[in-house]
Amino acid sequence: MATTNNNHSPRTSRKSPIERKQFTFDNREANFSWEVLKITAEFVDGFDLLATVQKPVTFFGSARLKETDPYYQVARDLGGRLVKAGYAIITGGGPGIMEAGNRGASEGGGLSIGLNIQLPHEQAINPYVKLSKGFRYFFSRKFMLDYSALAYVFFPGGFGTLDELFTITTLIQTGKSDGDVPIILIGQEFWQPLLSWVTDTMVTRGLIGPQDPALLRVTDDLSQVVRWIKKVGERDYSGG
């Protein structure tokens, strides 16, 4: 007599692989079509928020760095310098480098924006964010952090920071994003080993073009950072 495999409930077995994905951290049994609508709503809300922001610069970096870390103070300093030059600072809205960038912007009297992510152990928005939006999905939040920035500034960080760095670099390398937008890496001692590997291994083996490492600008000079960003042409945010 044939046996029946009871590892999956009838309800689960009727779902396709994509429907069985955990789209949200708290609801594995959510209706797939409803999840798609929520994803769409996040993109609409994100676009509506960023449409109001003039001259945004996005900061990336570790959430683990404390106020006592030198890079926290550098990010705070740069955030203040940029808002005084007329720019808005966008971060992921959390602690560490994100807090530092928002803090500098807030202390400088400028626009301080946080695009936060809802996690099982909730990541609270740092107190220096003046304009915020919470996201359920990493990919929609990631897109909004990347969208329409006049410059990307990277401080030392972990996997999430590197994920953002290589995503943005790939978009510019492949012509899917504006090549005039600078990717700026703060911290020679942290980033130079990575850049050396990119040149010595990836370029040498023909995995990327010899011109591609020039997409990444590394410095410890904040005055140089401000000059690079000021060279970026003004954008038309009116939608025309």
Q: What is the DSSP letter of 198?
A: I
Q: Report the alpha-carbon distance of residue 113 to residue 130 in Å, rounded.
A: 6
For 58, phi then psi, to 5°, come to: -100, 130
Q: For the chain, which domains are there?
A: 35-230 (3.40.50.450)
Structure tokens at 146: 């990347």
- Residue 25 pLDDT > 90, yes or no? no
Q: Report the alpha-carbon distance of residue 93 to residue 123 in Å, rounded.
A: 9
| Lowest mean pLDDT, pick from 3-7, 38-42, 48-52, 144-148 | 3-7
Local confidence band at 238 (pLDDT 50, 70, 90 cut-offs) = very low
Let me know: does 115 contact 93? Beta carbons within 8 Å.
yes
Q: What does the pLDDT read at residue 123?
A: 67
Local confidence band at 213 (pLDDT 50, 70, 90 cut-offs) = very high
21 in helix, strand or coil? coil
DSSP string, 210-229: TTGGGGEEEES-HHHHHHHH
- Residue 30 pLDDT > 90, yes or no? no
Q: What integer is the mean pLDDT of 109-124?
A: 81
Let me know: does 208 contact 198? Beta carbons within 8 Å.
yes
Read off the pLDDT of residues 160-189 as tens digits, 9 standing for 90 and up.
999 999 999 999 999 998 888 999 999 999
Q: What is the DSSP letter of 160?
A: H
Q: What does the pLDDT read at residue 237?
A: 41
Using CA atoms, how far residue 112 sits from 57, 103, 115, in Å, is 10, 8, 10
Q: Report the alpha-carbon distance of residue 223 to residue 131 in Å, rounded.
A: 27
- Closest CA relative to residue 58, chosen from 214, 193, 177: 177
- Using CA atoms in the order 192, 197, 200, 201, what is the torsion angle rounded to 10 degrees? -170
The more confidently predicted of residues 20 and 92 is 92
Q: Which residue has the tokens 């410890």?
A: 220
Q: Going along the chain, which residue ranges are E strands? A: 56-60, 88-91, 112-117, 131-135, 151-154, 183-186, 216-219
Read off the pLDDT of residues 40-56 as tens digits, 9 standing for 90 and up.
999 898 888 888 899 99
- Residue 92 pLDDT > 80, yes or no? yes
Let me know: does 90 contact 59? Beta carbons within 8 Å.
yes
Q: What does the pLDDT read at residue 46?
A: 87
- Residue 202 pLDDT > 90, yes or no? yes
